Structure 1
Amino acid sequence: MSDTLQTAATSQSAANPLLKAWQTPFETPPFAEIVPEHFLPAFEQAFADHSAEIAAITHDPATPDFPNTITALERSGKLLSKVSAVFYDLVSAHSNPALLEIDKEVSLRMARHWNPIMMNAVLFGRIALLHDNRATLGLTGEEMRLLERTYTRFHRSGAGLDEPAKARMAEINERLAHLGTAFSHHLLGDEQDWFMELGEADREGLSDSFVAAAKAAAEERGMAGKAIVTLSRSSVEPFLKSAARRDLREKAYKAFVARGDNGNDNDNNAVIVEILALREESARLLGFPTFAAYRLEDSMAKTPEAVRGLLERVWKPARARALADRDDLQALVAEDGGNFALAPWDWRYYAEKLRQAKANFDDAAIKPYLSLDHMVEAAFDCATRLFGVTFSERKDIPVWHPDVRVWEVKDSAGKHKALFYGDYFARPSKRSGAWMTSLRDQQKLDGEIAPLVINVCNFAKGADGEPSLLSPDDARTLFHEFGHGLHGMMSEVTYPSLSGTSVFTDFVELPSQLYEHWQEQPQVLRQFARHYQTGEPLPDDLLKRFLAARKFNQGFATVEFVSSALVDLEFHTQPAAASRDVRAFERQELEKIGMPAEISMRHRPQQFGHIFSGDHYASGYYSYMWSEVMDADAFGAFEEAGDIFDPPTAKRLLDDIYASGGSRDPEEAYVAFRGREPEPDALLRRRGLLETPEAA
């Protein structure tokens, strides 16, 4: 490089905040200084640095050993991890057209960067040599686990294939990266493009808090003074529950289930067809009959048959319960004077009416007691009582949007443990859903590295300074994502690849779903469920009715989930040619299982980001239910102890589940905590599905 070019490159690096040491509290990203134009040069530098590090490991003349190969791999790619974490946080939580364009380029470049690394025969040879001789290396338990996971990761990426197969695998990976990005951009596009304005006459049945949120959503889109329903789940679902106007419920419902399936520029059908064909081809290159067989081999479930067995065991009683509920709802339609057959846009509305009649409870009654701030406090307090950690808000940490809040987390000795970012409100720049991610993972490889953990949700914002009020489902979601957050924050491992949530997909939901149990405990609700205007605690009578109503409509909830999981499994076990017409395939599979016509899948294929925006949950959406078997059983340990904060049980939970990350086999970790394997019927008991009326 000439002196002039060298000087220009150095100057650019100095001006690019992504390439500098961050002079911020806890070395957090300086979001206000970062603009889209910084990312591509930063990725270029990160790719170059990482490639040089990999080359040094690959061509090290010394005999392969654990430090010069496995540990060296763990130390590589720090700049890439740093830049990627900031970039993907912004793309998902606060995107703009410039970032989305860059995302297309980055997804392709990322695939092109990783393909030659993960299929590097010389590097894999070093790893395989160590793996073959692992019993003689004197490794600790965590080192042995890391070696096994590293070997498995390279092997499953195609490192052992011949050169033509590797070349084809690289092409497939690049194309899948492009398609996954296109899928998520299409979905975001459809969600941003649609809204439904609510005039005064359209608001019958809607609570004051919903209308306030609808006004806040309109203001966010530059429509101050109006009120709108958006395609965020936190907007559509409560609207379907309470809107008296059936025509508007139908309009909102149809728009929601048609995301990505409108025959426009955002249509995802062709994307899905190509993704499935490429996944099938990649699995066959690796010696597997189907993508599901490939994917599930490296999971707790192991096989598609095991997954199907669990899902079918739950499906039968859930469907029977849903059909019985459907008949009750149809009777309620008739009582109401409705001369129509129950439709999918009616189910939530009449289920809510039925719940009010049978359980004398509706969500609107409890929402004033579930303010976002109080539920955040409750989540923190439970963590303090279980694990001794404390939370104090920090106003000096840079954030990507003014709504984001940050807390410093300290351990029981008062030592810094983590930072926790909460980004709770829906906005057009944020993709739908709720998730946990991190800007930095915990590790101890080179000193104590404390994690920077993020929870992102899409709750409706209160208008005019009013607090955000959560539905019971929203409050559960908050605890769920915070459970993932604790998995990241409480991690105590040496190696970054084993940190926090770096576990099997069908184990990663255990810490999150388990944490949900504390949200609905009477002693937690009595303390933190307080009326947002009066400060009065949740009345005992309302608390009892809420707890009694929890198992209501579980047939519906289970059917919409299990149908999605079964269709995911079928997409990835049947030949890709069978799903060339995505809509026809979906119809055929739902008919096969007897899907009630009045219920739709929780995620239709064209909006099923879990399995098509990337492959993290492909063939793996069942994971939530596999983990629920464990979480329902695991909470029983606290119930058996007679104290939901029992210290010895909490200590085992911390040591064996939350702190151990991926450093041990998940089955071994669960048995260490519980003293035995999980008891499968705990899930059916929790959902109230053990004693189910027979379907007609």
Structure 2
Amino acid sequence: MYRSIVPSWATLCTRCLRRQLVQQQRRRLGTAFAQDGSNIATQKVSSSAASFDPALHAAPGVTSDDRTLREIFDNSEVWSQFLRKAQNPAIPRTGLFQNKDLASPAGFKKFTDRTLAKAKQLVQKIVSASTRDELVRVVQDFDRLSDLLCRIIDMSDFVRSTHPDREIVMAAHEAYGAMFEYMNVLNTTTGLYTTLKRALEDPEVVKRYTPEERVVAEILFKDFEKSGINLPAHLRHRWVKLTSEIAELGSKFVTDMKPEKPVLYFNSSRMMGMDPFIVKSLTTCERVLIPSVGVYANHVLRTVDDPEVRKEVYLANHTSSARQIRVLEELLQRRAELGMLVGYDSYGQLGLMDKMAKTPEAVLKFLRALASANMPAAQVELAALAQLKKEHGVSGSLEPWDRDYYATKLTFAHRNRSKTQVDLNSYFSLGTVMQGLSRLFTRLYGVRFVPREPSPGETWNEDVRRLDVVSETDGHIAVVYCDLFEREGKNANPAHFTVRCSRRLSEEEIAEAAMNGEEADDGMASARRRDTGELYQLPTIALICDFSRPSWGTRPTLLNFREVQTLFHEMGHAVHSMLGRTALHNVAGTRCATDWAELPSVLMEHFAKDPNVLALFARHYHTNEPLPYQLLQDRLARDSLLEASETRHQIILALLDQHYHSSRPLEKDFSSTAVYRAVEREFSLLPHAEGTSWQGFFGHLYGYGATYYSYLFDRAIAARIWKDHFEAAPLDRDRGETFHEEVLRWGGARSGWSCLGGVLRRPELTEGGEEAMMEVGRWGSELK
């Protein structure tokens, strides 16, 4: 659910650095719109893509919705008119997401208290279950309990990270804390575990579960055992202490990262190649001060001609403080202890038991197979840099501090070979990209985005656009809130939040809510399914980006291609949430195994680059001319110049993550630096820089904890699904329906291996295992 990692060598241009400096100094001192079109200038586009007409998709108002979708993102005046309902004082205010309680800070507490009361009643019902009929009902009760908790936790987590009102943020923070505290109580309520264990040990009860209920029951049971709830009291106390220490150490590790040598000084005469404007801004008394981490250190590594300067900066940039290394090693030791406490050989084994990989051994086999598949392309890329170094008259092999410098020169040389300079951003207005996503989803899955005026108080900022997701066959199936424009104080990181998952609301819940004068869906979006007539709460999704705002009456927000890919990526998560409409909350949408969750989003990045898909929307915002695809191809080729060597770097990090979360941290002479050195020496194609300890800057070690391989894993799978299933006909409805039926609709209710085997028509993959992991690793040759 996170944007792909930006390659460490990716260029931050001099102009951007200058702009940062100017902005810092300032702070210190105080459409024309074209008609809709769908062609693209490329011979590779199929005739069906070129003749795309949204009106052919038949639902009344489709053409109007399609046009409006573009205009509400591209035209500030149109959006202002569209927003009139939300600004109408005569219409009663609702709360966030139409939850009436969430209209004020006090309402958050009211909503939390009421939800807690329901949860406590449900817990009592579960622990009291004794008859078989009651035990059959237990899984649904557990799922409803989980949904009640997440109604507060997911919503509060989103609100406290996004809402501009500090009072609302504090109320959401308190709601989150109250529910988290209650979850800790549940983690010590052994009656919950005992009831579920009794249910799963009764064959007659299990026989009456639906397949989805069986999956959820197994997930819940594994979660209980991972939490140590079945341990004797004294070991349980140890488990609680360890988890607390891990959280504290993890927070320190992520927030207190410091290099051993924070600042470096150089004579300005040694900074040849670096932008003089930046050098001057960092110079005092003819000495240039370079922080050893951050954008300036990275700029030195890319631009300074003197290899000794680059070497000194590189070594400082890759050497963590001794304190940071101690924190990391304590964290790893506590995690290893925790894994063994609950009966596993390592923390990695504990963390992988419910993933597609299952075991650390399988992950290592995947990574080794991937490293082998990646080797030839990575060697070619680094050989090109070594040749460039030689052509510049510098002797010796390619060193670690040479890579970014010669990569930058290679990129600029490739850019200069392009005969025509065209502003590709002009072909990607935000409105046309949103329009294109809706058209793509219509083609593949029969769903589209319909703009809807938000009610007063429904959104947290007037820039937020509400889109209803409408299916040709099922009607209204989801709501997406798009908060895509920059504003002061907003988190700039792109993200997808599932504020509420799909879940079937039972008639019992509906009647219970009615008796209490409440709504079973809390006022948020819900709809009855056309096939069964059952009421479902609809997936409610928030997409966050930080794009520039459109200019009033002049031109729309124009995206660079990386931003286009970002939006496609996040929308991949959203479509998983939209179409993973399961009856049970625990397996809805993106609630699946960690090493499967990124697949739909990474796959969408392939769609973003395809000429047939771009034919649906990519046109110049002013002239309406189609995108000259060859120029985009040149850009993509430039961006992928060192893709294989960057993949190799990620392989090394994933291997490091596995070794750190083995039993090794409990060894008497364990040294994280020695492990880092050994992994680099075995797998890096560049010499290891002796004396460095970069692992102290590897913040994902805490968040991922033995699952850092997941993104590489899903990249390899997405590349294969694209190649074998979509590439020949990326807009084909049958292929889209197959992907929907085999992958998206299941959420986490089906094994990822079964989904993969189904969509690729390869039954030998459906059971997973080490051989299947190695096979996915071999697909890595397609990642270069």
Q: Do these two structures clear the TM 0.5 threshold for a shared fold by scoring above it?
A: yes
Bigger Cα displacement from structure 2, 504-513 vs 133-142: 133-142
Partners of 2:598 and 2:153 lie apart in 1 by: 23
CA-to-partner distance for each residue in 1:664-684, whole Å, 9 max, x for gaps?
Answer: 222222223332156637733
State the match for 2:683 in structure 1.
593
Partners of 1:258 and 1:42 lie apart in 2 by: 48
C-alpha displacement of 1:284: 0.7
State the match for 1:444 in structure 2.
504
State the match for 2:66 in structure 1.
none
Partners of 2:130 and 2:576 lie apart in 1 by: 39
What SS is found at the alignment partner of 2:480?
Answer: strand
C-alpha displacement of 1:489: 0.9
When the two structures are aligned, how many residues end up with a matched partner?
620
State the match for 1:301 in structure 2.
357
8 Å CA contact retained: 1:355, 1:552 = no
Residues 41-52 of structure 1 mapped to structure 2, 5 A cutoff: 46-47=115-116, 49-52=118-121
8 Å CA contact retained: 1:92, 1:431 = yes
State the match for 2:439 in structure 1.
381
8 Å CA contact retained: 2:503, 2:538 = yes
C-alpha displacement of 1:573: 1.4
C-alpha displacement of 1:286: 1.1
State the match for 2:562 in structure 1.
473
Residues 337-348 of structure 1 mapped to structure 2, 5 A cutoff: 343=402, 345-346=404-405, 348=407
1:531 aligns with 2:620: yes
Partners of 2:101 and 2:619 lie apart in 1 by: 36
What SS is found at the alignment partner of 2:459?
Answer: coil
Bigger Cα displacement from structure 2, 140-149 vs 115-124: 115-124
C-alpha displacement of 1:482: 1.0
CA-to-partner distance for each residue in 1:637-663, whole Å, 9 max, x for gaps?
Answer: 4348x4222222221211221111122
State the match for 2:75 in structure 1.
none
1:287 aligns with 2:307: no
CA-to-partner distance for each residue in 1:503-553, whole Å, 9 max, x for gaps?
Answer: 111111222222222111111223433334543222143244356557532
- Tell me which amino acid in the other structure corresponds to 2:142: L
C-alpha displacement of 1:74: 1.6
Q: CA, structure 1 residues 243+303, in 2 after alignment: closer, same or farther (shift >3 Å)?
A: closer
The one of 718, 732, 735 aligned to 1:646: 732
Partners of 1:539 and 1:69 lie apart in 2 by: 58
Partners of 1:430 and 1:370 lie apart in 2 by: 23
Partners of 2:340 and 2:423 lie apart in 1 by: 54
- Tell me the percent identity: 23
- Tell me which amino acid in the other structure corresponds to 1:58: V
8 Å CA contact retained: 1:490, 1:500 = yes
Q: CA, structure 1 residues 242+587, in 2 after alignment: closer, same or farther (shift >3 Å)?
A: closer
Bigger Cα displacement from structure 2, 646-655 vs 167-176: 167-176
8 Å CA contact retained: 1:111, 1:173 = no
TM-score normalized by the length of structure 1? 0.75
Partners of 1:44 and 1:567 lie apart in 2 by: 44
Name the structure, 1 or 2, with higher relative contact order (CA <8 Å, separation 6+): 2
8 Å CA contact retained: 2:477, 2:539 = yes
The one of 368, 375, 380 aligned to 1:312: 368
Partners of 1:536 and 1:232 lie apart in 2 by: 44
8 Å CA contact retained: 2:433, 2:617 = yes
Bigger Cα displacement from structure 2, 175-184 vs 369-378: 175-184
State the match for 2:197 in structure 1.
128
Q: CA, structure 1 residues 471+307, in 2 after alignment: closer, same or farther (shift >3 Å)?
A: farther
CA-to-partner distance for each residue in 1:199-250, whole Å, 9 max, x for gaps?
Answer: xxx9x999xxxxxxxxxxxxxxxxxxxxxxx9999x999x969986789xx9
- Tell me which amino acid in the other structure corresponds to 1:411: S
Partners of 1:232 and 1:426 lie apart in 2 by: 26
C-alpha displacement of 1:495: 0.8
Partners of 2:318 and 2:557 lie apart in 1 by: 26
- Tell me which amino acid in the other structure corresponds to 1:27: Q
What SS is found at the alignment partner of 1:406?
Answer: strand
Partners of 2:621 and 2:736 lie apart in 1 by: 31
1:58 aligns with 2:127: yes
What SS is found at the alignment partner of 1:530?
Answer: coil
Partners of 1:385 and 1:26 lie apart in 2 by: 29
8 Å CA contact retained: 1:344, 1:597 = no
Partners of 2:494 and 2:698 lie apart in 1 by: 14
8 Å CA contact retained: 1:492, 1:659 = yes
State the match for 1:686 in structure 2.
782
Partners of 1:585 and 1:94 lie apart in 2 by: 43
Structure 1 unaligned residues grouped into runs of 5+: 1-20, 195-201, 207-229, 689-696
8 Å CA contact retained: 2:499, 2:542 = yes
Structure 2 unaligned residues grouped into runs of 5+: 1-91, 264-270, 276-290, 507-534, 766-774
Cα-Cα RMSD: 4.8
- Tell me which amino acid in the other structure corresponds to 1:296: L
C-alpha displacement of 1:561: 1.9
The one of 737, 742, 751 aligned to 1:665: 751
The one of 486, 489, 494 aligned to 1:434: 494
8 Å CA contact retained: 1:638, 1:646 = no
Q: CA, structure 1 residues 625+259, in 2 after alignment: closer, same or farther (shift >3 Å)?
A: same
8 Å CA contact retained: 1:112, 1:174 = no
The one of 411, 429, 435 aligned to 1:352: 411
C-alpha displacement of 1:103: 9.2
State the match for 1:214 in structure 2.
none
8 Å CA contact retained: 2:486, 2:546 = yes
- Tell me which amino acid in the other structure corresponds to 1:287: G
C-alpha displacement of 1:490: 1.0
Residues 139-154 of structure 1 mapped to structure 2, 5 A cutoff: 139-154=209-224
The one of 450, 453, 462 aligned to 2:541: 453
Q: CA, structure 1 residues 243+680, in 2 after alignment: closer, same or farther (shift >3 Å)?
A: closer
State the match for 2:41 in structure 1.
none
Partners of 2:359 and 2:180 lie apart in 1 by: 27
C-alpha displacement of 1:283: 0.8
Bigger Cα displacement from structure 2, 576-585 vs 524-533: 576-585
What SS is found at the alignment partner of 2:460?
Answer: coil
What SS is found at the alignment partner of 2:686?
Answer: coil
CA-to-partner distance for each residue in 1:28-57, whole Å, 9 max, x for gaps?
Answer: 5887x445x876786566555534431332
Residues 507-522 of structure 1 mapped to structure 2, 5 A cutoff: 507-522=596-611
